[in-house]
Amino acid sequence: MKKRIFIGCSSSNDIPEKYRDDCRHLLEELFKKENDLVFGASANGLMGLSYNVALNNKREIIAICPKAYQKDLDDIECIEILTNNISERTDKLIELCDTLLFLPGGIGTIYELFTAIESKRNNEYDKPIIIYNCHNYYDEWLKVMDKIYEEKFSKTSDKNSYVVVDSKEKVLDIINNN
């Protein structure tokens, strides 16, 4: 079944190569299937890798870009959607996808991840949120989340809003079976 996958990830080219190598294998498997890409419109970093793998596999690509970064669209070929700001972009990313997959990323990725979790927690949608913890990238974030749950700042049941996996096979299994 064809799905639109939002991929939240880094747009930095300066990340360690181990993340790029690991994610490349996952993305190649993901886009061999009838999955399309929804992403934040950058040709750099893991975001650019996602774009290139989807493009090479002739997948539909939807780039959602705030006006402040409109110039990024010059470097990619896709369906383009402009938003007024980052929060509108994040809402549109969530709206247009069937599944949300988070690879290693920076502040923007974490913002999108928290927005996705909070929106799902508040019953705004019911789409899978998958956090790919490749090379233990999200371990420290998970410790912060555990403290939030342990000290009852959020309900432990909120953990059900997302799934954290550390293997490419598990990511693909979740996407293929939802």
pTM of the model: 0.96
Q: Low-confidence residues of the chain, pLDDT below 70?
A: none
pLDDT given for residue 117 in this prediction:
97
pLDDT given for residue 2 in this prediction:
86
11 to 51, 92, 148: CA distances (angstroms): 11, 19, 28
pLDDT given for residue 178 in this prediction:
79
pLDDT tens for each residue of 114-151:
999 999 999 999 999 999 999 999 999 999 999 999 99
178 to 18, 50, 57, 97: CA distances (angstroms): 28, 21, 22, 13
pLDDT given for residue 122 in this prediction:
93
Rounded to a whole number of angstroms, the distance between the first and last alpha carbons of the chain is 10
Amino acid occupying residue 28: E
Q: Rounded to an integer, what distance in angstroms lies between the CA atom of residue 29 and that of residue 37? A: 13
pLDDT given for residue 75 in this prediction:
87
Query: Which long-range contacts does 114-120 make (Cβ < 8 Å, 24+ apart)?
Result: 115/87, 115/90, 115/91, 116/8, 116/90, 116/162, 117/158, 117/161, 117/162, 119/94, 120/161, 120/162
